[in-house]
């Protein structure tokens, strides 16, 4: 049982490292990209690079495998 909680905690820590927290003073426009169904994360990243050739920051990256739902918020770097 303790191992189960340790694994969950480790997964949460790993996932939190993938997200970027945005400041309240951030005035950039954030866009939610959805790559659900047959689309993969690569499709999201390709679209993000197309929208933001100079790079982008991410926030709220979410994946629900059972529903094949993948979403991420991006903001172009200035």
At 6-33, the pLDDT tens digits run 445 444 434 333 444 445 578 899 999 9
Compute how many other C-beta atoms are within 10 angstroms of the C-beta atom of residue 43.
15
The pLDDT score that the predictor gives to residue 16 is 37
Tokens of 48: 């993000």
Domain boundaries, the chain: 30-78
Tokens of 19: 């997200």
SS3 39: coil
Residue with tokens 């690569």: 42
SS3 38: coil
Position 1 confidence tier, pLDDT thresholds 50, 70, 90: low
- Judge if pTM exceeds 0.85: no
The pLDDT score that the predictor gives to residue 7 is 45
């Amino acid at each position: 049982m303790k191992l189960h909680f340790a694994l969950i905690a480790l997964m949460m820590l790993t996932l939190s490292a993938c997200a970027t927290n945005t400041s309240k003073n951030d005035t950039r426009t954030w866009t939610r990209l959805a790559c659900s169904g047959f689309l993969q994360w690569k499709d999201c990243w390709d679209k993000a690079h197309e929208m933001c050739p100079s790079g982008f920051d991410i926030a709220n990256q979410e994946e629900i495998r059972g529903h094949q739902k993948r979403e991420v918020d991006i903001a172009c770097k200035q």
